[in-house]
A and B are shown apart, each in its own frame.
Chain A
Amino acid sequence: DIQMTQSPSSLSASVGDRVTFTCRASQSIDTYLNWYQQKPGKAPKLLIYGASNLQSGVPSRFSGSGSGTDFTLTISSLQPEDFATYYCQQSYSNPPFTFGPGTKVDLK
């Protein structure tokens, strides 16, 4: 099975900061990489699909890039509502669909 890793596991940032976190797949997954945001007590929400495509309704400060094994999610200017945990997920081997362990973004 394809394994997913994310780094860092957590980061502290301030409102207005540009933040970037990474996701790595254990083998090439082309661009079948999706990003989800999860806030405490809530279901995950799809942000980015196909590595770089913004899901409808998601603010343009979110962007994704990468292909093959290495991917990044960038928030250009962190907003108060962006403090959450972010998960990457591969949909290349569909199924199984593997999630990364997550990156938690909290207030510095």
Chain B
Amino acid sequence: QVQLVESGGGLVKPGGSLRLSCEASGITFSDNFMTWIRQAPGKGLEWISYISGSGGAKYYADSVKGRFTISRDNAKKSLHLQMNSLSADDTAIYYCARGERGLDDAFDLWGQGTMVTVSA
């Protein structure tokens, strides 16, 4: 069925690294841009990264620029987020979401989220 499934979250020490993945099924993955959004405990939604359908364009929020790297493998229908130099401020649920140009670039398909906890 049509879905996005994130994985790779967990507990990591400050300064550590983690790689998140988002596997797509039931969709033509390369047709759409993809994004990562996070939500700190009890807080709102924060967009953090974008990648175009081809993977040629990438953008980051200032809060993660230089530390996080987004990538995609269209053949494997997978999206990734490499997170380095993690701090407590990065503790959050991380969601991947599909952007749909035909819906004014709204995010119409979301994964269930994966929890990242940064703590000593």
Please list the residues of chain A having a beta carbon within 8 angstroms of any beta carbon in chain B: 31-32, 34, 36, 38, 43-46, 49-50, 53, 55, 87, 89, 91, 94-102
Give the complex CA separation of A36 and B59 in angstroms.
22
Given contacts A44-B110, A46-B108, A96-B61, contact A53 B45 (CB under 8 A): no
Given contacts A101-B44, A102-B44, contact A43 B103 (CB under 8 A): no
Q: Are A95 and B46 in contact (CB under 8 A)?
A: no
Given contacts A43-B112, A43-B113, A95-B50, contact A31 B44 (CB under 8 A): no
Taking the complex as formed, is B35 at the interface, i.e. its CB lies under 8 A from any CB of chain A? yes
Determine the main DSSP class of B at the interface with A: strand
Give the complex CA separation of A102 and B43 in angstroms.
9
Kindly supply a per-residue 1/0 record for chain B positions 64-99, scoring 1 wherever the CB is within 8 Å of any chain A CB and 0 otherwise: 000000000000000000000000000000010001
Given contacts A43-B95, A49-B103, A87-B45, contact A97 B108 (CB under 8 A): no
Q: Are A96 and B59 in contact (CB under 8 A)?
A: yes
Determine the main DSSP class of A at the interface with B: loop
When C-beta atoms are compared, the residue in chain A nearest to B6 turns out to be A43
Q: Are B104 and A97 in contact (CB under 8 A)?
A: no
Q: Are B111 and A43 in contact (CB under 8 A)?
A: yes
Residue from B37, B44, B104, B113 in contact with A49 in the complex, judged by beta carbons closer than 8 Å: B104
CB contacts (< 8 Å) of B37 on chain A: these are: 44, 99
Q: How far is the CB of B18 from chain A (nearest CB, A)?
A: 20
Q: Are A55 and B59 in contact (CB under 8 A)?
A: no
Q: Are A99 and B46 in contact (CB under 8 A)?
A: yes
When C-beta atoms are compared, the residue in chain B nearest to A48 turns out to be B106
Residue from B46, B59, B103 in contact with A53 in the complex, judged by beta carbons closer than 8 Å: B103
CB contacts (< 8 Å) of A97 on chain B: these are: 35, 47, 50, 105, 107
With a 10 A CB-CB cut-off, give which of B105, B106, B111, B113 has the most chain A CB atoms. B106
Q: Are A96 and B105 in contact (CB under 8 A)?
A: no
Closest A-B pairs by Cβ, 9 of them: A91-B105, A49-B106, A50-B104, A43-B110, A34-B106, A95-B59, A49-B103, A99-B45, A97-B47
